[in-house]
Amino acid sequence: MPQPTTYRHLFAIPGTRAFTAGNLMARLPMGMFSVSAVLMIAGTRDSYALAGAVVATGLAATALVAPWTARLIDRHGQARIAPPATLLAVLGSLALVLCTRMGAPDWTLFAAYAATATTPNTGGMSRARWAHLLKGDPAALHTANSFEQAADELCFMLGPVLAAFLCGAFFPEAGTLTGVLLLAAGMALFTAQRSTEPPVRSRQTPSEPPYRAPGMPPLLVVCLAMGAVFGALEVVTIAFADTQGHGTAAGVVLGLQAGGSCAAGLVYGALKPGGSAERRYPWCIGAMAVLLTLPLLAASLTGSLVVLAGALLISGMATAPTMITSMTLVQERTPEGRLNEGMTLAVTGLLGGIALGSAAGGWAAEHVSATAGFGVPVAAAGVALVIALAPRAFDPLNINPESRPIH
C-alpha cells in the first residue's frame, strides 16, 4: 500500500476518520472556554481585568499540570488516562459556572478555573496517533500536521463564534455548559477508537525528558512568546468590540483571524515546502510579527471593527505555517516513546504565554485603551522573532545527529 501524501489518502487509513471526528468534537471547546469565561465573568462582575486574570490563572495551572497528564498518557495509554482527566476538568468548569451564577467571592473563580487544568491535550493526542500511523514517512506526516493545525484553527474559528452567540443569545453560562457537553462526548468517542491508539512507553526503556532534548529549550521559549500573542489578541479584541458597542460580535471577529490561519494551514500542507524546518521557522515568525502590525494600525487609524476584522483575517495567515513548523520541530526533537509529553510541553509553553498575554492584554485594555492593547501581541511577536534569530538557536548543526530521535 503506498504511503499517503494527500488529505484524501490520510483518511483512507482505517480508523482515522473515527478518531478525528471524536477529537474535533472534544477540541472545539478549547476555542470556547476562555471566550465564554471572559464574557461570563466580565458580564457579571463588570471587569475585564478580573476576567483576564481568571483565564490567565487557569491557563497557568494547565501549563503546570498538562505535562504530568501527558506523561501519564504516554506511560499508560490514552484510553486509560484521558477519560478520568477529562471528568476532573468538567467538574472544574461546572464549579466555575456555579460560583459565577451564585455571586461567590472572586477567589472561587480562580480556584474553579484552575481545576480545569487536567484537560488532556486533545490536539497532541491526535498528532501522536498520526505520528504512530505514519512512522517513517515525513512527507505524509507534514500533511497530517498541517491538517491538525488547520483543525486547531477551525476550532478556534468556530469556538469563539459559538461561545459569543450562546452567551449573548441565551444566558452568560451557556457557552461554558455547551463546551462541557462537547468535551465529554468527544473524548468518549475519541478514546473508544483503540485500533489507532499509539502503544504505551515501556517503563524499562528510560529516555531523556523532552524539555532537556537538544534544541528543545529555545523552541519552548519561542512557544511561550507566541502564546502571549494569542492570549493578548483574544482579550484585547473582545474589549475593543465591547467599546464599539458590539461585544457579541467579538467571536465573529476572532473567528476571522482563525479562519485566515486555517486556510493558510491547508495550503501550506498541500505545498510541502522544501528546506529544513529549522530554516523555515524564523521566516514564519517574522511574517507573523509583520502581519500583526495590521490590527494595531486598523484599530488606531480607523477605530472600525469591520476594518479590524479584515486586518485580523490577513494577520492570521502566518499563524498556521508557524505552528505547523513548530510542531514538526517538536516531533523531530522529542525522545522516542514520549511524543505526547513533548508536544504537550510545546502546548504548555503556548498556554503559559497565553496566560501572560491575557493578563497583559486585559490590563492594557482596562488601564490604557483597547486600541493600545493591540501593541501587546506585536511586542510579543517581536520577542519570539529575536529568540528565533539568536545564533545557533535553531541551527541543525547545533544538534547532535546521534541524539536526534527518529520516529
Q: In the prediction, which pLDDT does 48 show?
A: 75
**Which residue pairs, CB below 8 angstroms and at least 24 apart, start in 366-372?**
366/47, 366/48, 366/49, 366/239, 367/49, 370/236, 370/239, 370/240, 370/242, 370/243, 370/299, 371/240, 371/299, 371/300, 371/303
In a domain, 384, yes or no: yes
Cβ contact 311:256 at 8 Å: no
Q: Is 180 left (phi over 0), alpha (psi -120 to 50) or beta?
A: alpha
Where residue 337 falls among pLDDT bands split at 50, 70, 90?
low
Cα 276 to Cα 298, 317, 395, 396, distances in angstroms: 35, 21, 10, 9
Range of the domain at 42: 16-198+207-398
Residue type, 75: R
d(CA 391, CA 120): 35
In a domain, 8, yes or no: no
Q: Is 135 left (phi over 0), alpha (psi -120 to 50) or beta?
A: beta
Q: In the prediction, which pLDDT does 275 show?
A: 67
Domain count, the chain: 1
Looking up cell 468517542 gives: 189
What's the chain's average pLDDT?
81
Cβ contact 40:176 at 8 Å: yes
**Mean pLDDT computed over 189-202:** 83
Q: Which residue has the higher pLDDT, 122 or 247?
A: 122
Per-residue pLDDT tens over the stretch 158-190: 777 788 788 877 888 888 899 999 999 999 999
In a domain, 405, yes or no: no
Whether 119 shows a pLDDT value over 60: the answer reads: yes
Which residues, in sequence order, are CB contacts of 352 under 8 Å at separation 6+?
Answer: 59, 60, 63, 224, 227
DSSP class of residue 119 equals: -
In a domain, 75, yes or no: yes
In a domain, 9, yes or no: no
In a domain, 6, yes or no: no
Per-residue pLDDT tens over the stretch 4-24: 467 777 788 888 888 899 999
Whether 204 shows a pLDDT value over 70: the answer reads: no
Per-residue pLDDT tens over the stretch 238-262: 888 887 776 667 777 877 887 788 7
- The dihedral through the CA atoms of 132, 134, 136, 138 has a sign that is negative
Q: What is the CATH number of the domain that holds 296?
A: 1.20.1250.20
Q: Which residue has the higher pLDDT, 183 or 217?
A: 183
Report the 10 Å Cβ neighbour count for 151. Answer: 21
In a domain, 2, yes or no: no
Per-residue pLDDT tens over the stretch 355-381: 788 888 888 888 888 888 888 889 999
Q: In the prediction, which pLDDT does 141 show?
A: 79
d(CA 175, CA 40): 8
Where residue 405 falls among pLDDT bands split at 50, 70, 90?
very low
In a domain, 37, yes or no: yes
Looking up cell 476562555 gives: 34
Backbone φ and ψ for 264, nearest 5 degrees, come out as: -65, -35
**Mean pLDDT computed over 320-324:** 85
Q: In the prediction, which pLDDT does 400 show?
A: 43
